[in-house]
Amino acid sequence: MFTAQNEYASATGIEQVVTDNIKAAFNGTDTFVDTKRNEVTLNIDFDCPVICPANRATTVTCSGYTQLMSITYTAKMKLVPEVTFTGGFTRAGSKKGETSHFLKGESKKRVYTDIPNGPANELKDKAASNADPWDWTEALDKNPHIQTLVDRISDPQCYEMYVRGKWEGISGWKFVIQTDIKTA
């Protein structure tokens, strides 16, 4: 009696979950995505052709096992802080382009508190367009060294970093197909 066993294994849903082409690789479709918990549930159509010889008794067994695995990753992160200035060259008038008049008391309306200026990587554009509430033209005229500081703060590479980690307990499926061909 002749017995032959062939094993075909595929670790679907493990390492390939983190790739962009999982749908093409496993003929899977997303059925549920939960971004708060970073979960993706997939329907997987497992297709593995088995050649069965003619006139022989053949037993084909397909077994699916759940499997846990740890996946290491490297992620590129971009953290952009918010910039806040205190006092200094704020506009005395109420809007950009308005000329303040000392008799109307506009100069007394100048704000000397913390002024949010938004994300740090947008600071250079705000300085170039002389955006409210900061009087960038006056600040740069009186202190030219500020321009180099603004350029350094606005550089997006200052806020990029690489983070390495490991996802523990990623679950998936392992399919094993066994063929048992018997001859007389």
Residue 76 lies in a domain: no
CA distances from 154 to 31, 51, 122, 149, 158 (A): 41, 63, 6, 8, 8
| Per-residue pLDDT at 48 | 64
Residue 31 sits in the same domain as residue 96: no
| Per-residue pLDDT at 98 | 53
Residue 119 sits in the same domain as residue 146: yes
d(CA 24, CA 35): 22
Residue 156 sits in the same domain as residue 109: yes
Q: What is the mean pLDDT of residues 120-137?
A: 82
Residue 13 sits in the same domain as residue 46: yes
Residue 118 sits in the same domain as residue 140: yes
Q: What is the longest distance spanned by two Cα atoms in the chain? A: 113
Q: What angle do CA 106, 110, 115 make, to 5 degrees?
A: 145
* pLDDT tens readout for residues 97-122: 555 544 455 555 555 667 777 888 88
- Judge if pTM exceeds 0.75: no
Residue 50 sits in the same domain as residue 86: no
| Per-residue pLDDT at 79 | 83
Q: What is the mean pLDDT of residues 16-32?
A: 43
Residue 77 lies in a domain: no
| Per-residue pLDDT at 119 | 85
Q: Does 149 or 26 have the greater pLDDT score?
A: 149
**Region label for 38, one of left (φ > 0), alpha (ψ between -120 and 50) or beta (otherwise):** left
Residue 6 sits in the same domain as residue 61: yes
Nearest to 25 by CA among 39, 11, 4: 11
Residue 75 lies in a domain: no
Residue 155 sits in the same domain as residue 173: no
| Per-residue pLDDT at 77 | 82
Quote the number of domains for the chain: 2
Residue 101 sits in the same domain as residue 123: yes
> What is the domain extent for residue 13?
2-70+169-183
| Per-residue pLDDT at 8 | 33
> What residues contact residue 21 under an 8 Å CB cut-off, 6+ apart?
none
Percent of the chain with pLDDT over 90: 0
